[in-house]
Amino acid sequence: MIRLAVASGKGGTGKTMVTAALADLSGVPQVLADCDVDAANLEFLFSPRRLTTTEFRGLATARIDLERCHDCGICADRCRFEAFVRRDDAWTVDALHCEGCGLCTYVCPMGAVRMEPRISGEIYTSTTDRGVLVHARLFPGSGNSGLLVTEVKKRALKLASGADLLIADGPPGIGCPLIATVGDMDAVLIVTEPGISALHDLRRLVTVCRRFNVQIFVVINRFDLADEFCTRIEDYCAEEGIPTTGKIPFDPEVVAAVRSGRPATRIDSPAAKALRALRDNLFIELGLS
C-alpha cells in the first residue's frame, strides 16, 4: 500500500481540492484521512455517511478539589504555563493554559489537585462513494491537534489494510500537526502556487519533509496567475530533484465545484483536465497505475 500525504506549507493553496480530485480519480481501493483537524473540510466534497463517532481524549487537565485546597498558591507558583488563576477568591484552572504536565499534582502539599481526562474533539469514520473517510473535529480552543492527527492516522492505517492507497489531506504549516501527518508516510505531494509566500513556505516544508524517509512531489495550482513565480518554483524543484507532477490553471469552475459540494473533477473544465494529468503522472511515479 502507498501512503500519500497532501501538504502545502502555506494555507489555501488547494490541498483539499487536490486531495479530493485524486481520491475521485484514483480507481484503486483506498482509504481517505482528513488530517487537517483544525479545519477539516474534505467531508464537504464527498457527502459522507457517518458510521462511528468516538470521543478524542487529549492530555489530561488539572482540577482543584476546593474542599482540600488550603489556598497556599504553590501550584500557581510552580506552574510554568500560568494555568492557575484567582477567581471568586479561590484558585482555579484555566483549561486553555493547562499543558497537562501534572506538575501541580506533585507539588500540592494537600493532594488537592488531580488530573482529569479532557475531551478535546471527536473522531469519525464515514463511508463515501470513494472509500472510507476518517476525519475529526478538534473542539475550538483545545490543544493537542498533533495528537488528534496521530489518532486519525492510526485509525485510517488500520482500515487501509488490504487497500492500495491511503490519502491524507494534511494541515497547513510545518509544526506539530504537519509533522504528525508526514511521519510514516511513503510520499508527500506538496500543493503550491506561484507567489512569493508560497515559494518561501514550500522551501521550509521541503526542509521538514527531508527529515523523513518520504518521496516528495510538487503540484503547482493556479500556475497561470504569475508566470515569473511559476518558473521560479519549477527551477527550485529541479534544483532539489523534486518532480513537478502537475500544473493546474486558475479556473472559476473549481470554486463552483466546491460550492456544489463536489470534487473539481466532476465538472468538465481546464482544471479537471489538469487534475487528471496530475493523477496519471503521480500514480506512475508511485507505481500505482
Partner 1 sequence: MKIAIASGKGGTGKSTVAANLACVLSRSREVALVDCDVEEPNLRLFFPAPAEDVPVTTPVPEIDPDRCTLCGECGKFCRFGALAVLKDRVLVFPELCHSCGGCVLVCREGAVREVRRAVGKVACSSPLPRLVLISGILDEGEVQAPAVVRSAKALAGGHPLVLYDAAPGIACPVITTLEGSDVCVLVTESTPFGLHDLRLAAEVAEGVGIPAGVVINRSDGEDRATIAFCRERGLPVLMTIPFSREIAAVQNRGGLICRDLPRWEERFAGLFAGIARIAEMDS
Q: What are phi and psi of 37, to 5 degrees?
A: -75, -15
Q: Is 259 in the site for partner 1 (CB under 8 A)?
A: yes
Upper half-sphere CA count for residue 281 (Cβ side, 13 Å): 15
Q: Is 287 in the site for partner 1 (CB under 8 A)?
A: no
Q: Is 10 in the site for partner 1 (CB under 8 A)?
A: yes
The 3-state DSSP composition of the chain as helix, strand, coil percent (nearest 5) reads 35, 25, 35
Nearest CA to 191 out of 175, 170, 210, 207 is that of 170
Rounded to whole angstroms, the Cα distance separating 246 from 275 reads 7
Amino acid at 181: T
Closer by beta carbon to partner 1, 48 or else 195: 195
Please pick, from the candidates 109, 162, 252, 287, the single residue that binds partner 1 as defined by CB under 8 A: 252
Minimum CB separation of residue 112 from partner 1 in Å reads: 17
Rounded to whole angstroms, the Cα distance separating 263 from 258 reads 7
Please pick, from the candidates 72, 74, 76, 99, the single residue that binds partner 1 as defined by CB under 8 A: 99
Q: Is 67 in the site for partner 1 (CB under 8 A)?
A: no
Interaction residues for partner 1, span 130-159 (CB under 8 A): 138, 140-146
Q: Is 280 in the site for partner 1 (CB under 8 A)?
A: no
Q: What are phi and psi of 235, to 5 degrees?
A: -65, -45
Binding range to partner 1, per CB under 8 A, among 47-55, 122-130, 191-199, 236-244? 191-199
| Three-state secondary structure string covering 130-197 | CEEEEEEEECCCCCCHHHHHHHHHHHHHHHCCCCCEEEEECCCCCCHHHHHHHCCCCEEEEEECCCHH
Nearest CA to 31 out of 146, 125, 142, 139 is that of 125
Q: Is 111 in the site for partner 1 (CB under 8 A)?
A: no
Binding mask 21-50 for partner 1 (x = CB under 8 A): -----------------xx-x--x------
Amino acid at 182: V
Closer by beta carbon to partner 1, 144 or else 245: 144
Kindly give the interhelix angle for 15-25 and 270-286, rounded to the nearest 10 degrees.
70
Binding range to partner 1, per CB under 8 A, among 18-26, 27-35, 193-201, 276-284? 193-201
Binding range to partner 1, per CB under 8 A, among 20-28, 49-57, 96-104, 238-246? 96-104
Minimum CB separation of residue 11 from partner 1 in Å reads: 1
Q: Is 176 in the site for partner 1 (CB under 8 A)?
A: yes
Amino acid at 193: E
Q: Is 81 in the site for partner 1 (CB under 8 A)?
A: yes
Here the cell at position 204 is: 521550509
Q: Is 170 in the site for partner 1 (CB under 8 A)?
A: no
Q: Is 196 in the site for partner 1 (CB under 8 A)?
A: yes
Rounded to whole angstroms, the Cα distance separating 85 from 75 reads 10
Q: Is 263 in the site for partner 1 (CB under 8 A)?
A: no
Binding positions for partner 1, rule: CB under 8 A: 8-13, 16, 38-39, 41, 44, 59-60, 78, 80-81, 96, 99-103, 106-107, 138, 140-146, 171-179, 193-197, 200-201, 204, 207-208, 211, 225-226, 228-229, 252, 255, 258-259, 261
